[in-house]
């Protein structure tokens, strides 16, 4: 992650998490990447919506601990909580991507997703939109994009 600004911790409010999951239109065959999963709230909601599994990338130890406890409390078995920098992994296998990004990384994130994702992959962003992709839907400041 050298040279890439770290997204600080801000939470997605409960109603926006619900909107994200609604717009994700989860199917039992979907696999998702939660890029910077924080306390796991988005991953947990995707899991409860019936997704196959979620890889939740989070580099903050304390947030991973909080997420671990919440995931255990809800008896969820299809979230892989990963202590891994999402910039260093290929995202090509996922067909849902969720992120609460920040303005200074938008160009880099767009380029990474453009290079790696399969066509039709759903990308859900909270609050900060892409600069060059045309969204399919905006609701409650959640942006849904379909990879072309």
Ligand X SMILES: C[S@@+](CC[C@H](N)C(=O)[O-])C[C@H]1O[C@@H](n2cnc3c(N)ncnc32)[C@H](O)[C@@H]1O
- Return residues touching ligand X (CB under 6 A): 1, 6-7, 9-12, 36-38, 41-42, 57-60, 63, 85-87, 100, 126
Separation between Cα atoms, residue 19 and residue 131, nearest integer Å: 21
Q: Which residue lies nearer to ligand X by CB, 35 or 117?
A: 35
Of 63, 50, 1, the closest CA to residue 24 belongs to: 50
Shortest CB 101 distance to ligand X, Å: 7
- With CB atoms as reference, the residue minimizing the distance to ligand X is 36
Beta strands in the chain (DSSP E): 31-35, 53-57, 79-82, 96-99, 122-126, 137-139, 142-146
Pick 139 or 148: Cβ nearer ligand X: 139
For residues 7 and 71, which CB has a smaller minimum distance to ligand X in the complex? 7
């Amino acid at each position: 992650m050298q040279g890439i600004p770290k997204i600080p911790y801000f939470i997605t409010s409960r109603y926006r998490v619900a909107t994200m999951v609604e717009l994700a239109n989860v199917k039992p065959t979907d696999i998702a990447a939660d890029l910077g999963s924080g306390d796991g709230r988005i991953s947990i909601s995707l899991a409860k919506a019936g997704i196959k599994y979620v890889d939740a990338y989070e580099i903050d130890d304390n947030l991973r601990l909080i997420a671990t406890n919440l995931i255990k409390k809800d008896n969820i078995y299809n979230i892989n909580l990963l202590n891994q920098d999402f910039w260093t992994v290929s995202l090509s296998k996922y067909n849902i991507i969720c992120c609460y990004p920040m303005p200074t990384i938008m160009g880099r994130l767009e380029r990474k997703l453009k290079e790696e994702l399969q066509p039709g992959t759903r990308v859900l962003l909270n609050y900060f939109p892409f600069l060059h992709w045309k969204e399919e839907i905006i609701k409650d400041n959640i942006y849904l994009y379909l990879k072309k």
